[in-house]
Amino acid sequence: MSFTLRQANAQDAEALSQLGATTFYDTFHTFHTHDDMKKYIAHAYNIEKISACLTNPGIMYYLALNNGLPVGYIKLIKNVQPPELPEGRVAELEKIYVLKEYLGTGIGKKLMQQAIVAMVQENFDWLFLGVWQQNQRALDFYKGFGWEICGVRQFKLGDTICDDYVLKLKLG
């Protein structure tokens, strides 16, 4: 396998939409109702919404490719201020997704490293993210990079309210 990373652009909206919908469904469909999954995916991964994000200078996507085919991505949102991190410049790692058949190949690690490097280069002090409390695989992955739990928040998935941990990572 030959993996590459590049910053996503407007032409990548469809690929990001498909990757987001597929990875989200594969990860969470056994825990939530079909209706909740359908509502959330239709809202979160529609091409128009992703296209708008791709033109927003406060949002960055990086796409992971295997021999030119999209297999994962990250989404970073600059200049957010969650209550758990009241000081410093903060960015959110809103999404880090890898297709299930590529889990364990190192793509997730490369995407995480890219998120950290990109935000250090832009002089951010902190990264934060939200992760479902029952997603142990993700929690273990983040812990391996030094992320720490600093709070909790609720996340709405369709009609269901989920409890998420808020994690932080000091940059620089």
Which token pair is 76?
Answer: 């970073």
* pTM listed for this prediction: 0.94
Is residue 100 in some structural domain? Answer: yes
Query: Considering the domain boundaries, does residue 144 fall inside one?
Result: no
CATH number for position 97: 3.40.630.30
How far apart CA 15 and CA 8 sit, in angstroms, is 10
- Identify which of 19, 62, 78 has the alpha carbon closest to the alpha carbon of residue 44: 19
By residue range, what is the domain housing residue 90? 3-121
Overall domain count for the chain: 1
Would 62 be classed as within a structural domain? yes
In a domain, 163, yes or no: no
Residue pLDDT tens, the chain, 172 long? 679 999 999 999 999 999 999 999 999 999 899 999 999 999 999 999 999 999 999 999 999 999 999 999 999 999 999 988 878 999 999 999 999 999 999 999 999 999 999 999 999 999 999 999 999 999 999 999 999 999 999 988 888 888 999 999 999 8
